[in-house]
Amino acid sequence: MNLPSSLPGWLDYIERQHPQSIAMGLDRVMAVRDALALQPVFPLITVAGTNGKGSACMMLEAMLGSAGYRVGTYTSPHLLRYNERVRVGGAEAGDDALAEAFSAVEQARSAAGVPLTYFEFGTLAAVRLFCRERVDAAILEVGLGGRLDAVNVFDADLAMLMSVGMDHMEYLGDTREAIGAEKAHVFRPGRVAVCADREPPQSVTEHAARIGAKFLLLGRDFDFVLQPLQWSYRGPGGDRHGLPLPALRGNFQVANASACIAALDALRDRLPVATGNIRDGLVRVENPGRFQVLPGRPAVILDVAHNPQAAAALADNLARMTGYRETIAVFSMLSDKDIGGVVRALRGHVDHWLLAPVEGHRATPLAELRRQLRGAGVAAGITACASIEEAMDRAYRMAGVGDRILAFGSFLVVAAAMTAARKRQLK
């Protein structure tokens, strides 16, 4: 069988290798990991949580990068290019390097005689690439849950749990206790586990105690004080004052930043990072699609918020962003998400809803989106569009210079809206 030679060819190939997009379990991934002899020698940080994972990964990358470390960062999903998922030294991995990594994983998978999902392929390829590049440290974002996620086949030197909310309930359970238990399995005996959720489920703290993890909890073992234009941190590694607010928007990002500092403090013997590097990282960190405000008028805000917890944070950010007359939302969500919960969090901040389907078998039909909005209390101002691009075009025509356009509800919505906005800029 002829294997692909280009990255696009490999992405198409791995998407066709498993009948399911999600297949929980670690045995298959472990078998291929062992066939590849993947044994990272660099410090490894695993980041789990319902929300805040991507922001934490980018903050850690920026802080460690400022300190001179060459960091490998693996996140998901991507917005426009697969390369966004795998970064080395702050830059996206190249097509050839990713294609080579996929080829190595496929050879090992074939030898092991097991199937892999798209995400499992990507996880193993990313770690293979980081080992080949001999990075100084690696940051791996958990895709779903923790216990049975492909990332969890690697023993992290430090694990982070950013938050526990209600999402992916068909896989993780329908209570915070059940979901927390799944996520807490990224913790390792005798190693530090940083939790940025002030009130984690009891299942999280119990699991940490049961396995003997060194559990650091926000509000107990580390914390922050928010001040006008700056903030202060206290933690086991000492206090830090006069820190700049993160470049990522939202006061909740300070909690994420606190967890990152606590993590770096715990790793200071292997990866020392000065306060100046932390400050620099906070100022220059970027994470596209998380309350990202595009330049120009009308203002365009992109946010991947797709669960009630993230929607509440988005609503808070919108409330703080004053001076706009009307908000026009370009909105869609996947069918397995809590659409009503997200709409209820945002309904008081949106004047017009432009609904459009996204691509894929998990897309929510327009009629169901409309039904969910009405069920959540949105009685008027709803318009159906054939695509996100059409919805963005209509939003631009509706919006005056004093209005704002909000595209949210899914990574797929943000990616399509971002593409539409770029096309408009090129006209």
What would the 3-class secondary structure string for the chain be? Answer: CCCCCCHHHHHHHHHCCCCCCCCCCCHHHHHHHHHHCCCCCCCEEEEECCCCHHHHHHHHHHHHHHCCCCEEEECCCCCCCHHHHEEECCEECCHHHHHHHHHHHHHHHHHHCCCCCHHHHHHHHHHHHHHHHCCCEEEEECCCCCCCCHHHHCCCCEEEECCCCCCCHHHHCCCHHHHHHHHHHHCCCCCEEEECCCCCCHHHHHHHHHHCCEEEEECCCEEEEEECCEEEEECCCCCEEEEECCCCCCCHHHHHHHHHHHHHHHCCCCCCCCHHHHHHHHHHCCCCCCCEEECCCCEEEEECCCCHHHHHHHHHHHHHCCCCCCEEEEECCECCCCHHHHHHHHHHHCCEEEECCCCCCCECCHHHHHHHHHHCCCCCCEEECCCHHHHHHHHHHHCCCCCEEEEECCHHHHHHHHHHHHHHHHC
pLDDT level of residue 171 (50, 70, 90 thresholds)? confident
Q: What is the mean pLDDT of the chain?
A: 94
Q: Which residue has the tokens 């809206």?
A: 417
Rg (CA), the chain: 21
Closest CA to 48 of 141, 165, 124: 141
The answer to whether residue 406 scores a pLDDT higher than 80 is yes
What confidence score (pLDDT) does residue 245 get?
95
- For residues 393 and 411, what is the distance between their CA atoms, to the nearest angstrom? 19
What are the tens digits of pLDDT across the range 366-396? 999 999 999 999 989 999 999 999 999 999 9
What confidence score (pLDDT) does residue 20 get?
65
Contact 378, 340 (CB under 8 A): no
The answer to whether residue 327 scores a pLDDT higher than 90 is yes
- For residues 418 and 294, what is the distance between their CA atoms, to the nearest angstrom? 9
pLDDT level of residue 22 (50, 70, 90 thresholds)? low
What are the tens digits of pLDDT across the range 193-240? 999 999 999 999 999 999 999 999 999 999 999 998 899 999 999 999
Contact 311, 252 (CB under 8 A): no
What are the tens digits of pLDDT across the range 140-168? 999 989 999 999 999 999 999 999 988 87
- For residues 271 and 358, what is the distance between their CA atoms, to the nearest angstrom? 42
pLDDT level of residue 57 (50, 70, 90 thresholds)? very high
What are the tens digits of pLDDT across the range 230-280? 999 999 999 999 999 999 988 899 999 999 999 999 999 999 999 999 999
Would you give the end-to-end CA distance of the chain in angstroms? 44
pLDDT level of residue 19 (50, 70, 90 thresholds)? low
pLDDT level of residue 427 (50, 70, 90 thresholds)? low
Q: What is the mean pLDDT of residues 168-191?
A: 92
pLDDT level of residue 1 (50, 70, 90 thresholds)? low
Contact 212, 190 (CB under 8 A): yes
Domains in the chain, please, with CATH?
A: 7-284 (3.40.1190.10), 292-426 (3.90.190.20)
Q: What is the mean pLDDT of residues 45-58?
A: 96
Q: Give the amino acid at 131.
A: C
What confidence score (pLDDT) does residue 331 get?
98
What confidence score (pLDDT) does residue 68 get?
98
Give 408's contacts (C-beta < 8 A, 6+ positions apart).
301, 302, 303, 304, 305, 314, 329, 330, 331, 346, 414
Cis peptide before 298 (omega within 30 of 0): yes
What are the tens digits of pLDDT across the range 63-115? 999 999 999 999 999 999 999 999 999 999 999 999 999 999 999 999 999 99
Give 233's contacts (C-beta < 8 A, 6+ positions apart).
222, 223, 224, 239, 240, 241, 243, 257, 258, 261
